[in-house]
Each structure stands twice: as C-alpha cells, then as structure tokens.
Chain A
Amino acid sequence: MAVDTIPGSLPGPASGNARDKTNAAIQKSIRRRYAAERRFKIYGVAAILFGLAFLAVLFWSIISTGYTSFVQSSFKLDVLLDRSVIDPSGQKDPNALRSADYTLLARKALATALGADTANRRDMREVGQLLSRDVDVEIRNEVLANPSLIGKTIPVWVLASGRVDNLLKGQLDRDLPAAVRKISDQQLAWIDKAEAEGRLVKRFNTGLFTNGASSNPETAGIGVALVGSLFMMMTVLLLAVPLGVAAAVYLEEFAPKNFWTDLIEVNINNLAAVPSIVFGLLGLAIFINFAGLPRSASIVGGLVLTLMTLPTIIIATRAAIGAVPPSIREAALGVGASKMQAISHHVVPLAMPGILTGTIIGLAKALGETAPLLMIGMVAFVVEYPTSPMSPSTALPVQIYMWATSAERGFVERTAGATLILLALLICMNLFAVILRRKYERRW
C-alpha cells in the first residue's frame, strides 16, 4: 500500500513504505558510524603501540650500553709499603708521604704477582699500563690514614686501566691484530693469568657513585654532581615551595579579580612555557653579573631552577585550592572562622595532596634540567666535593652532558649508566607523588 509522500514533507508514521526507507537509511548510517568508531580505536591503539615501541628502544639502548658501568675491573694486590720509597727520611712528614711514588709500589706488586721481571723496564711499562693512572691515590689514602702500615704488606683492591676494563667487558675484540688492539700479547697473557687466579675481577663500581670528575673513565663518578644536585634541590625546596604556595593562596583566595590579577595569571601561565635556557640567561644577568654570586655555584643553579619551578608550583597549587569545594569554606566561615583560619585550617590541608604532587613534579623537572645550568657555568670539571652551596659544583644532568661529549668507551657506558641513575631518581620522585596523592586523597 504505497502512499505517495509529498516531496519535502516528513514521512508519516503510518506509511509502511516510508518507514522501511527510514529504517534502511538508519541501518546504513549505523554501519558507517560503527566503522568510524572502530577506525578511531585502531588509530588510538596504533599510536600507543608506536609510543611504547619508541620507549622500549630508548630503554633497551640505554640499559644495554649502561649496565656495564655498574661494575669495574679491579686487581687484588698485596702491596709492600716499602719504607725506602715512601718515607726514606723516616720522619713521617705528611708532605713527603703525600708526594711519594705509590704508582711504583703498585706496579711492583702487580709485576710480582704476574711473574714479570721487575728489573726489565719494558715489562714494567707494560705492567703499568694495566693499572689505572689514579692507582696511587688509593694506596696513598691507605697510608695517610694509617702511617704505621709503612714497611708492611697490605692487601688492596686497585682499579685496572680502562683498556683492561674494556677487554673484560667484551668491548675490546681480543682477536684483532696486536698492533690495533691497544693491548700487547704479553699483556693479554698476564690479564688471562690474573683472571684465572681470581686476582682480576669485576667488582661493584662504588666509585661511580662517590667519585668526582676525572679524565680517566675508570675513576670518573657522579658523586660530586649528586651533591651539587642535592644542594640545588634543597634551594628549590626552601625557596620555591613557600613562595609558590603563598603566591597561589593569595591569588586564589585574597586577590581581587581585576585587570592586574588577570595579567599576572596570564603571565604565570606563560612563564611555565618559557624555554628553560631563558631562565639561565636571566640567572647569569641577575645572580652572577648583577648580584655578584660566584659562577658554577650550586646556589645560583638553585636560584635559577627556583625561578623555573615557581610557575609549575603556583599553577598546581591554585588548581588544588580551587578544587576544594566552596561548602568547606562556607562551613568554616559559618562557625565564625576568620578568612585566614578557614584557609589555613581547612582549605590548604585539603589541597595538600595536590600541592605536594605539583611540588614534587616541579622538583623532578628541576632535577633533570640542564640548559639553564650551562649558562651559569655549571659545566665544570669538579673533582672536589662542594662543601657549601657557594662552592663550585656540577649537576647530574650536566655531568651526563659532559660525559656524552667524550669518546672513550668508559665514558660512553658511564653516560648511559648516569642516565639510568637519573631516570631512577625521577621515577622514584614521581612514584612518591603518586603514593602521596593516593594516601591523602579524600572524598567530600
């Protein structure tokens, strides 16, 4: 019973034919809509897989390069602390003790252990090449700590040279011709012998965590950089957190809403997006050139990172305070609390999880920041531990940056190893933020 529909008019509900047409049209469009939905899901999954693949490649490349930096080859030596070499005058003069030739003692001990001829100068030179150039420091420290050891034979672990380390870690191909290998056949034989006797082993690399900068990869570590980073984090924590929270509370709770506060808000949001190197330039101009603070000092780095972190903390704190329901404020005001009491007793404690999360994320960002520190002279070769925020120091990401420019195999693995440590620190901080948020998250 086809019913003619007037062109342009809606099909009537009673008209069977028109109803069928409508249903068919809907059927068709439903299929199209579901197809679009499926396509969108596929795009999403593909994007995530793509991202995960990149992440996996990144981690694989860092870990595979870096894991070897956590062990370091060392020789176990029985060093005779020969009185005639260390203290010929017998006066135990600290200056004499400090400048004695400990390298010679180490070489002699190793040569004896390997069965080399201590009288043969060529042999002695080759034995010397197996030891780290900083080997004297380790023995000297033992002697300076306890001068009564002079004349005795003490067991010490000393670092092997970078070449030996490379060989043990399989980074040096022993099948290469001796001329290209950097290690002579004689040395190779000694190394195999020492290894077989358990005299040469790969030990956990504590030096990586405690040493400062060094031109020898085997004695280079991130200790100094870690202390510098710690000083900077303390500065940021002490300055950025109180300033940021106070500014956010004022802007959110007390400031009138007018042109000026709008302007300030826009500027804070923009500051959060300013490239960090600009903060470095600002720090160079103000803290070093104008205020006359020392270059390379962690206090300047801390101040620059404070400036950089402030917007992050202010934005996070404002969001957290804004999320506290107005009913809590009204409840407090309703029983006669002053505005300050309502804020300090109720609003800020309730906003605390958000504030802490923002702060920790800001700190984590500051910990990983390199660019502004380049501008204020923190790219420095610092061997001594900084004793105060005013003394020269470097930072963990800057240390990574400096190692990354060196070609030696030992520095390459240290670059990746230090990156792993930095990543571990950042993950710990973010995890801490998540745990805090979970713990203090309340419902109201």
Chain B
Amino acid sequence: MLKMPNLEVHQPDAVKHDTKVSAQDVNVYYGEKHALQNVSVNIPDRSVMAFIGPSGCGKSTFLRCINRMNDTIPIAKVTGKIIIDNQDIYDPSLDVVQLRARVGMVFQKPNPFPKSIYENVAYGPRIHGLSHSKADLDEIVGASLEKAGLWKEVKDRLNDPGTGLSGGQQQRLCIARAIAVNPEVILMDEPCSALDPIATAKIEELIDELRQNYCIIIVTHSMQQAARVSQRTAFFHLGTLVEEGNTTDIFTNPKDQRTQDYITGRFG
C-alpha cells in the first residue's frame, strides 16, 4: 500500500505536475566568490515557481543558470547538473542556442529592440526559421501578442517602434517576444520591478494565464507577488536554498527560522 503524499492535502487547488526542471547540487562561482552553494530543487511543469530572498542571495544567479545566461560572464563557473526533460543542459553536446529557444527569458527592465513592434516579436521565429512565409510569421506574431495580452492595444500600430510603448506594454511585448519561439520554460527576472501597480497587476494576470501552458520561474522582491502568482516558492539566503515548498506552506508555516524572519520582515 502506498501512502498518500501530504502535498495534495495542503494545496488542494494545485494539480500535481511532472518535474520540468531539476537542479542537482548547483554551485556558481564568480571568480573567487562562491555565489551559489549546493542548490537542489525540482520545478514542476505548468505552474509558477517563485524565488524570493534578500538582495544578493543568489536567486537571480540561479535563474540565469537555467538558460545558461551566466555563460556570457567570463569569470562565472557553474558546477552541478540542471536537467530539463531528462537532458543535462550543461552537457557539452547541448547547444546553448537551442537551449535558449526552449527556455525563454524576460528581464528586469523591459528591453525591446529599438525596432517595430512586429519586428520585436518576429525576430526569434525568423532567426530560428520557424516560419516559411510572411503569412506564417504574421500568424505567429499575432498569436504571441494575443497570448501576451497586447494584441488589442497594438494591432493597429504594429509598425510603430516597440520603444514607444509604455513600460508595462513594453514588458508584455518582451513576454510576447519570448513566447513567439514557443519555449517550454519561461524565466522572469523581477519582471515587475520597473512597473507601476496597474501594469504589475496586468503582468501578474498574464503570468497566471501562461502557467496553463508553460513552466514559469519568477524571481521577485515582493513577497506579496510571490504569494499571489506562484504555486511553489523557494527562499534563498546568502547563496543557499534555505527552504522550498508550496507557496501557502512557505508563507503560513515556514519550517526554517530564517524564512520566518524574512517573510515577517525582520530582515531583507
């Protein structure tokens, strides 16, 4: 007889999904500095995982390991394994360009290309050869903008520069750009930190919709945001993963004293 796992009981609204991303003993060094120590975590598919913690705790560093963005920093060294769908992404045979097509990323500051709205979204599909005709590309662009909740606002001015949109619209454009290449995982590095509350609410709504189809990992400074959008939460402190679990558990019943102190505002 198998014992029923407790998880289901604590989080009745969450459907249990398979693990999408699995990190095993990940260590990151920036030169001499040991920025991330022995992080192991399983991230389920079709749900939102939030990374919280004080500044400099390594949560963004870990996020950037998942699409190997740390490769661009010459002094960074990563050890350990990160497995996406049974494939180690640090395996030398894996091509980083292909990985980044599967693992999209949205950055802290909205960073649309200084090109038209259409070109921003079309760039990814174009370089990966995902469309065979102009009609194909139009459809991908339209669908991506639709999914990012931006279509209604921009459909009449697709040729206007992407940099002319408001901050929140720019960030949604960046999300559209990321989902245009049809990724499996979307990484978001504090996507709302440069936005006002209304734009933030829209992005959070969007994240909630997107989780039906994608594995979303979000780094956030705001504990309220983590509580609102995520199903699971991981708390980082001083380069270590302190505690990880269902969001409701982390916020109502943390096991570790440091987590308790952080979420009650005693430090951070």
Contact = CB atoms under 8 A, between A and B. Distances in A.
Contact of A335 (B98, B114, B163, B181): B181
Interface centre among B98, B113, B124 (most CB of A within 10 A): B113
Interface centre among A257, A335, A350, A443 (most CB of B within 10 A): A335
Nearest to A330: B107
Nearest to A324: B114
13 contacts: A328-B113, A330-B105, A330-B111, A331-B113, A333-B100, A334-B69, A334-B104, A335-B123, A336-B128, A337-B123, A338-B97, A345-B127, A346-B113
A330 B73 CA distance: 11
Interface of B: 67, 69, 72, 74, 97-98, 100-101, 104-105, 107, 109, 111-114, 123-124, 127-128, 163, 174, 177-178, 180-181
Contacts of A333: 69, 72, 100
Interface centre among A329, A330, A334 (most CB of B within 10 A): A334
Contacts of A256: 74
A442 interface: yes
Interface of A: 256-257, 325, 327-338, 341, 345-346, 350, 442-444
A334 B105 contact: yes
Interface centre among A328, A333, A338 (most CB of B within 10 A): A333
B64 to A, nearest CB: 10
Nearest to A339: B72
Contacts of B72: 329-330, 333
Interface centre among A329, A330, A442, A444 (most CB of B within 10 A): A330
B127 A331 contact: no
Contacts of B127: 335-337, 341, 345
A240 to B, nearest CB: 28
Interface centre among A256, A336, A443 (most CB of B within 10 A): A336
A336 B114 contact: no
Given A333-B69, A336-B127, A327 B107 contact: yes
A323 to B, nearest CB: 13
A98 to B, nearest CB: 64
Contact of B74 (A257, A327, A341): A257
Contact of B97 (A336, A346, A442): A336
Contacts of B177: 331, 335
A330 B69 contact: yes
Nearest to B121: A335
Nearest to B187: A334
A434 to B, nearest CB: 21
A110 B165 CA distance: 78
A40 B153 CA distance: 54
Contacts of A331: 107, 111-113, 174, 177
Contact of A444 (B97, B105, B163, B180): B163
Given A330-B105, A345-B123, A442-B114, 19 more contacts: A256-B74, A257-B74, A327-B109, A331-B111, A331-B112, A333-B69, A334-B104, A335-B101, A335-B123, A335-B124, A335-B178, A336-B97, A336-B181, A337-B124, A338-B97, A341-B127, A346-B113, A350-B114, A442-B163
B187 to A, nearest CB: 9
B74 A334 contact: no
A341 B123 CA distance: 11
Nearest to A346: B113
Given A256-B74, A331-B174, A443-B163, A337 B111 contact: no
Contacts of A335: 100-101, 104, 123-124, 127, 177-178, 180-181
